[in-house]
Structure 1
Amino acid sequence: MKTYIFSSVLFIMTLFAHTDIQAQQVDSSKNNYVVLTKKIPQLQPIILTAQALKAEEGNDFGQFKVIICGRNIGDITNPEKMKNFIGEAEKAGVELIACGFSMNKFKVDKSKIPNKINTVENGILHNFQLQKQGYKSLSL
Structure 2
Amino acid sequence: MKNSILIFTAFFMLFSITTNAQNHNTEKNNYVVLTKKIPQLQPILITAEELQAEDAQHFGDFQVIICGQTVTGLTDKEEMEKYIKRANKANVSLKACGFSLNKFGVDYKEIPFEMKVVENGILYNFQLQKKGYTSIEL
| Segments ≥4 residues shifted beyond 6 Å | none
Identity %: 59
Task: Give 2:101's match in structure 1, choosing from 100, 103, 110.
Answer: 103
Aligned to 2:137: 139
Give the superposed CA RMSD. Answer: 1.0
Which amino acid in 2 is paired with 1:130?
Answer: L
Matched, 1:73 2:68: no
TM-score w.r.t. the length of structure 1 is 0.79
Cα deviation code 1:33-62 (max 9, x no counterpart): 000001110000000000000001100100
The alignment partner of 1:115 has SS state of: coil
Q: What are the ranges of 5 or more consecutive residues in structure 2 without an aligned counterpart? A: 1-23
Aligned to 2:41: 43
Aligned residues between the structures: 114
The alignment partner of 1:63 has SS state of: strand
Aligned to 1:84: 82
Tell me by how many angstroms 1:80 deviates: 2.0
The alignment partner of 2:99 has SS state of: helix
State the alpha-carbon separation in 2 of the partners of residues 104 and 83 from structure 1.
22
TM-score w.r.t. the length of structure 2 is 0.81
Tell me by how many angstroms 1:115 deviates: 1.1
Aligned to 1:18: none
The alignment partner of 2:50 has SS state of: helix
State the alpha-carbon separation in 2 of the partners of residues 108 and 63 from structure 1.
27
